Structure 1
Amino acid sequence: MAIDLQIFIANENIASDRVAAWERRSALKALGKLGVRAERTDLPALREQLARRKEALGHDAIRSLFRRELALADRIAKSVAWLSRGRRRFSIVEIVSPAGTAEGFAHWFEEAARRDREEVMIAAAPEHYLIATDAAGRQEVIETNGGAPMPARFFVDYADLSSLRSEADPAYPVQVAGVARAPDGTAIGGVRHQFRNEGTGFRARLTVEFPLFIMPSVVTGHRWHLACEFSNWIRAAVAEIDRQPG
């Protein structure tokens, strides 16, 4: 049975079925972007169809399919980053899990990235089109940020915290953080996801940094993206860890 998570957006406790409804709408949109129509409209079927379609296309076809949008998104992202001069807006969500640990989840997530478990990373949100770790340990991502009009391509380096503007909170002793860069290396944002044990489980404080002058709707919309992907990752992690012997 899936664990019952508490999800907070702008300090409002959001029912899981609202996040699922957002995921379903996003899945229908993603299938259209990938050039197919939904075979069925229930969420499990949409997830399965998306997984099949993305696997069938492969990396090169996905990059080619979105090449014009990615080129435009890249120009916009670098221009907005230049105008923002390193200043940032934060998209923040909190999730409380009744099971698992902060250390256990962070390790699971880092291992999934290190081992390039692409199927796990992509499955967490419909508009994850490509997530792959390169030989240097950087994570290549093609996704639509929650409120953006088009997908973008960027690289997250979890060994680089140099241009992050969010502060590490000592109340959250575990973190997964890194700078996001455009393909040419321009810093365009980043992530600082922080975790602490709480009750029988743990709390996640999830932060994505965007340039200050990005459209506010992208920042607010991305909170639903964060809620969706991390809800799915946390459930997957807890289930996998529970199945491990000992």
Structure 2
Amino acid sequence: MTDLKIDITIDNTPVTQAELAKVQEWRIKHVLQEMKHLGADISKSAIEINLLSYPEAKQLLLDTKDKYAALEDMKALYKEPLAASDKFWKAVAKKSNGNQDLQEGQVFMHVEGITMPQLQQQLAGELDSHIAAVVNPEHFYSVGDTVNGQHIIETFCNFGEPTEMNLYPETGDFVPTTPDSTYPIKMNGYVALSSDDDALGYGWRAYHQIRPTANGFDGILAAYLPSGTPEEIINGHKYHLAVEFSEMIKAAVMHP
């Protein structure tokens, strides 16, 4: 097996793992500052948080989230932000066109050094809150898997506040785009708000396409959002996807 290689392209521009690490560092410290502001058990001051190295800040965030691993504890800490996000997405859905005219945010990925069975094992396994937090600093809670569905809390695309959601695999015929026939593996799902299982007109979707190669795989990772979604969210989620899948692949290689 070749050494691990992860090439990311966003908007026709290569994005290095070092650049994605910097995105993570910014978001890690943002989340730490917000959690502290909301009353989380963090002994360090706001200034001390800003002076942490990237590895130190990441470990502090993981340790802090582990203290609020129970769903009710995390929901109690983020009560007001979660309510604001729920209201925000319902307003977006109201001014959108259901699952039509969806806005697309794509990430192209080329990976060498990991087999498809390794990747599929990682994707199909239980995605608990700790693993979710390891692969993206904007993940706060997770139970379930990509095959049967998930109950999650995450900040959607580095914008706004965390949202509590249910992620369901698509069981019907709807696809948000014309599939690429050269990518045989498809992952198609939609999201509903957990407050009342509101699927927002079925316009809040993920559709990933994967193609095995001799040494790894190629991926088209994509989110499709309602027509009324702010452009900042479309662009931000590209980096959210790039971080999440890059870190998931690294974890799969380290712990096959």
TM-score greater than 0.5 by the shorter chain: yes
CA–CA distance in structure 1, aligned partners of residues 12 and 161 of structure 2: 28
1:62-110 deviation per Cα after TM superposition (whole angstroms, max 9, x unaligned): 1112111211211221221232122311111112111123443133211
Q: Give the partner amino acid of 1:64.
A: A
2:156 corresponds to 1:142: no
2:130 corresponds to 1:92: no
Further displaced range: 25-34 or 42-51: 42-51
CA spacing shift, 1:102–1:182, aligned 2, 3 Å: same
Q: TM-score, normalised by structure 2?
A: 0.84
Aligned to 2:29: 28
Aligned to 1:169: 180
Contact kept in structure 2, 1:102 and 1:195, CA below 8 Å? no
2:198 corresponds to 1:186: yes
Contact kept in structure 1, 2:132 and 2:140, CA below 8 Å? no
Shift of 1:112: 3.1
1:47-75 deviation per Cα after TM superposition (whole angstroms, max 9, x unaligned): 21111101112222211121112112112
CA–CA distance in structure 2, aligned partners of residues 168 and 240 of structure 1: 32
Shift of 1:147: 4.0
1:166-218 deviation per Cα after TM superposition (whole angstroms, max 9, x unaligned): 34322111122211111222224121122111241111211112111110001
Aligned to 2:52: 41
2:172 corresponds to 1:158: no
CA spacing shift, 1:10–1:39, aligned 2, 3 Å: closer
Unaligned runs of 5+ in 2: 37-41
Aligned to 1:210: 225
Shift of 1:3: 2.8
Give the superposed CA RMSD.
Answer: 2.3
CA–CA distance in structure 1, aligned partners of residues 214 and 148 of structure 2: 34
CA–CA distance in structure 2, aligned partners of residues 39 and 216 of structure 1: 29
Q: TM-score, normalised by structure 1?
A: 0.87
> When the two structures are aligned, how many residues end up with a matched partner?
237
Q: 2:131 pairs with 120, 127, 132, which one? A: 120
Shift of 1:7: 0.8
Shift of 1:124: 0.6
CA–CA distance in structure 2, aligned partners of residues 161 and 236 of structure 1: 32
CA spacing shift, 1:167–1:82, aligned 2, 3 Å: farther
CA–CA distance in structure 1, aligned partners of residues 59 and 172 of structure 2: 35
Aligned to 2:18: 17
Unaligned runs of 5+ in 1: 242-246
CA spacing shift, 1:213–1:168, aligned 2, 3 Å: same
CA spacing shift, 1:69–1:5, aligned 2, 3 Å: same
